[in-house]
Amino acid sequence: MRISIFGLGYVGCVTAACLSREGHEVIGVDVNELKVSLLNEGQCPIIEKGLPELIRAGRNQGRLSATTDVSEAIQSTTVSLICVGTPSQANGSLDLSHIKQVSQEIGVSLKEKESYHCFIYRSTVLPQTTRTVIIPVLEEASGKQAHIDFDVCFNPEFLREGTSVHDFYHPPLTIIGHQTARGASTAAELYESIPAPIEYVSYEIAEMMKYVSNTFHALKVAFANEIGTICKAIGVDSYEVMRLFCMDTKLNVSPAYLKPGFGFGGSCLPKDLRALVYKARDVDVYAPVLGSILESNRLHIQRAVDYLVRKRVKKVGVLGLSFKEGTDDLRESPTVVLIEQLIGKGFDVRIYDPEVYLAKLHGANKDYIQREIPHIATLVSDNLPDVIQSSDLLVVAKALADFDRDVKPFLGDKPVYDLVRIRPQLTGMPSGYEGICW
């Protein structure tokens, strides 16, 4: 395949060299004449392990070259990867001037081309940039229509400086944001020799993935450093603690808990988090990441309250009361907090939770229910159809039942507010369905 790569910075150089090694004919494009000259001389414009050898081999084999001429690159290739920078501005927003400029220049060159071309953007941009910024620029400059005359894909990169060549050949997955099957298959051809699954998604999901990944990496660094600082202050070996922590790949380093939903609660997480934050203060360690978790959880519960207030309904049915499925434990349940606020705001609330209903009668939590939340316990019913039919809106706080079988027959057209993502259970979405964060 004949490929042009726009932007010979870190991502562009690595991508160009690696694709040339895979047998593709690659032309690098950059406004910086020094970078172009270095590449054409077989020299590496950046410092990166293993990259000089790949560039030298690509030049010697005649598969890698560079130019400053955009038109030459577009006319002589069928696929273009755009890897120009998107630096931060003073206020934190992205500077899209480079990506707009190169897209405009590409579009002008595309106007004179009759054959098919696929543009694959790798520059890090926020969701909706491809659809609302990049494609309009390409269409206006070329006078052609995206997805018909040419294709646009978004293919985020996850290359770490210092190990980027290894990362290119050993990705956990390859993500291709696309609009057409033609564009997706063209982009996928670039990675047919790479042993990793390919996920075909929307532009917006592909764009968001880089930000989610990098934000989580930053969060992990800050988390580990705050834990390490607390450990040092109290005389505990932080490296041994984190070594053991990372050995747990079922809960700690795993997909567990990484699913958007409602707030956390129960007898452990809030209590232990408060204790650790208190201990940090006690040993004069400021831990803002740890200290913000409970506030973030409170705000998430408040989002649910605010949503229901905005709906202007008075009768609310709630499926689920305990803090998670499979338990009657109500200690620090976020649903209890939600219901208490709704009651305080004058809502008429009915609750269905068979696990709590049994506990109210003879379970281990009977005393807690009678002592701590008797006003809520009286609202718990064992009659699911009655709870549904007597409400103006249904809140799903636990996946207690087969929604299609047990709930939908009594639902009618009343809205559903989902806190646990029951969508996979549904054969058809009820009108007025909405998830708390999806």
What are 134-181's pLDDT values in tens digits?
Answer: 999 999 999 999 999 999 999 999 999 999 999 999 999 999 999 999
Asked if residue 160 and residue 112 are part of one domain, the reply reads yes
Taking the C-alpha atoms of residue 125 and residue 157, their distance in angstroms, rounded to an integer, is 11
Taking the C-alpha atoms of residue 51 and residue 353, their distance in angstroms, rounded to an integer, is 60
Digit-coded pLDDT (tens) for 238-257: 999 999 999 999 999 999 99
Per-residue pLDDT, 426: 66
Q: Could you list the residue range(s) of the whole structural domain that residue 322 is in?
A: 296-435
Taking the C-alpha atoms of residue 120 and residue 108, their distance in angstroms, rounded to an integer, is 17
pTM confidence score: 0.91
The residues, ordered by sequence, that sit 6+ positions from 65 with a Cβ below 8 Å of its Cβ are 26, 27, 28, 39, 40, 59
Asked if residue 332 and residue 234 are part of one domain, the reply reads no
Asked if residue 348 and residue 315 are part of one domain, the reply reads yes
- Say yes or no to pLDDT of 360 above 70: no
Asked if residue 242 and residue 304 are part of one domain, the reply reads no
Is 118 buried (19+), middle (13-18) or exposed (0-12) by CB count in 10 A? buried
Answer whether residue 426 is part of any domain. yes
- Say yes or no to pLDDT of 277 above 70: yes
Answer whether residue 265 is part of any domain. no
Asked if residue 246 and residue 122 are part of one domain, the reply reads no
Radius of gyration of the chain from its Cα atoms, rounded to whole angstroms: 28
- Say yes or no to pLDDT of 359 above 70: no
Per-residue pLDDT, 1: 96
- CATH number of the domain within which 136 lies: 3.40.50.720
Q: Domain boundary residue among 157, 184, 201? A: 201
Beta carbons within 10 angstroms of residue 419's beta carbon: 25
- Say yes or no to pLDDT of 289 above 70: yes
Asked if residue 216 and residue 186 are part of one domain, the reply reads no
- Say yes or no to pLDDT of 225 above 90: yes
Digit-coded pLDDT (tens) for 368-378: 777 888 888 88
- Say yes or no to pLDDT of 185 above 70: yes
Rounded (to 5) percent helix, strand, coil in the chain: 45, 15, 40
Residue of 18, 118, 268, 437 with catalytic role: 268
Answer whether residue 396 is part of any domain. yes
The reply to whether 268 belongs to the active site is: yes
Q: How many domains does the chain have?
A: 3
